[in-house]
Amino acid sequence: MSMKIRSLIAAFAISTLSTTAIAQDATTEEPAGPPAGEPAVFTSEDSVRINGQTINYDVTAKETYFFNEKDAPDASIFSFTYLKKGVADPTTRPVMFVFNGGPGSASLWLHMGVIGPKIVDVATDGPQDDGAPPYPIIDNPHSMLDVADLVFIDPIGTGYSRVLEDGDAADHWGVEEDAQSVGNFIRRWLTENKRWGSPKYIAGESYGTTRAAALAEELNSGYNDVALNGILLISAILDFDTFLEQVGLFPTHAAIGWYHNKVDRSAWNNDFDAFQAEARTFATDTLAPALLKGQGLPAEEKSAVISRYSDFTGLSEDYLNRANMSVDVGRFMKELLRDQGLSVGRYDGRYTGVEEEGVGEYTWDDPSGYAMDSAFTGAMNDYMTRFLNIDIPRPYEVLSFGPGSKWKSVSGGGSGGPGFTNVVPGLGEAMRQNKDLRVLLAGGWFDQATPLFSAELSLQAYGVPQDRIVKAYYDAGHMMYLERSELEKLSEDMHDFVAQ
């Protein structure tokens, strides 16, 4: 794989976060960060028209310093705050804290894609490459600013946020460490802005959903807790169990096979919903037991499972037999359209790319990744310099490989010992201890990076109140807001969720 796709995969943390990696990284010495200096602050004001009303707002883009036990600044978090003008009673005005994933990603994707008051005009009516500039920055009629003040957070090691010379990245780069770091920022922001009495929401995308669930537990702990009204999980990954991922991935592969006409749609009367329902039942009731049996699966039974697997996905029975039904994301990207010399996207399986050769097991890059990154990177830097007048000479870290390569996991929900990251138990605990905490789970049918069904299976764990989970589905991939109609639907679903 190219360096670019390796970085993107690491940045969205879809592989298991294991304690083996922790042991390997523990001996790596981090270079000292830069001197603290004075924290940067940039202010401006603007207006935007949303849902028929004009919202006048103040913008503050700033560094917030955090201090160690010696009272020396050891890290800074850069954030973008949008406050509606003229609010007399802040307890009636919600505030939403927003971040993306990685770990290692800045918040520009949700910021410039769907939630912020200005977005890059890149949404289309189907999978398209973003091409070359210009990338227009426009007022966002779908922004959440009409119903909530917005705070976009770039976790330490992303955007302009960084470890300072008296700090240590190890204090911030891990599931629990990151949740504590971002949680400390949220408490600090609430105090500085006198908003402890406001309704509070957090919204995360991709690994940002892992962060959101871990934050729910962190903010709820102790007696300095922050009660949340809602959590928005956009393209969620909560439990990194590889078996769960394999079973949960199957309906996504089926959806992508359907989209590319590799499936006999007439067998389901061209009814995608019925097809998906049956694919989910097959995944849990047939495929999962077959995979668990391994070599103990009788040959006749294996043949029947493979035949049905092929019907749902379009992969050949011969390929599935040779792969022992173990088709991970990379293999599927390469194999589904191999006969056409094409690969399919990881973030969005509707996207296709022309392959350099047709014999490898894995593709060289992700066509749904390189189809959109230039527009967001260019637009975010343009927005910060021309619109917000941010004057910081160092690069804005869009997707940094550093944090993800040294990230410390939480094993089995924090039980200790070797294992995988699972933040569902902490989320369930936060929901059980807060009767008003609700969760919105939003996912795209064609997202292989964070499969929708995997997230649903995760949230079905005992201890998670099912009556406070709202589910929303999109005819798109990981970044459903790249599709014009789904951008509108996501905005409507988020507005409805906050308004409840």
Is residue 423 within 8 Å of residue 214, measured between CB atoms?
Answer: yes
Compute φ and ψ for 371, nearest 5 degrees: -80, -10
> Tokens at residue 348, please?
């969005």
Give the domains, in start order, of the chain with CATH numbers. Answer: 3-240+372-499 (3.40.50.1820), 242-354 (no CATH)
> Tokens at residue 452, please?
């929708």
Write the DSSP symbol of residue 145: G
> Tokens at residue 323, please?
């792969």
pLDDT tens series, the chain, 500 aa = 443 443 444 444 433 343 333 222 333 344 445 555 688 999 999 999 999 999 999 999 999 998 887 888 889 999 999 999 999 999 999 999 999 998 899 999 999 999 999 999 988 887 877 778 899 999 999 999 999 999 999 999 999 999 887 777 888 888 989 999 999 999 999 999 999 999 999 999 999 999 999 999 999 887 789 999 999 999 999 998 888 888 999 999 999 999 999 999 999 999 999 999 999 999 999 999 999 999 999 999 999 999 999 999 999 999 999 999 999 999 999 999 999 999 999 999 999 998 887 788 888 788 888 777 888 999 999 999 999 999 999 999 998 877 877 888 764 444 344 458 899 999 999 999 999 999 999 999 999 999 999 999 999 999 999 999 999 999 999 999 999 999 999 999 999 999 98
> Tokens at residue 486, please?
């789904």
The angle at the Cα of 208, spanning 203 to 214, to the nearest 5 degrees, equals 90
Of 318, 246, 252, nearest in space to 287 by CA: 246
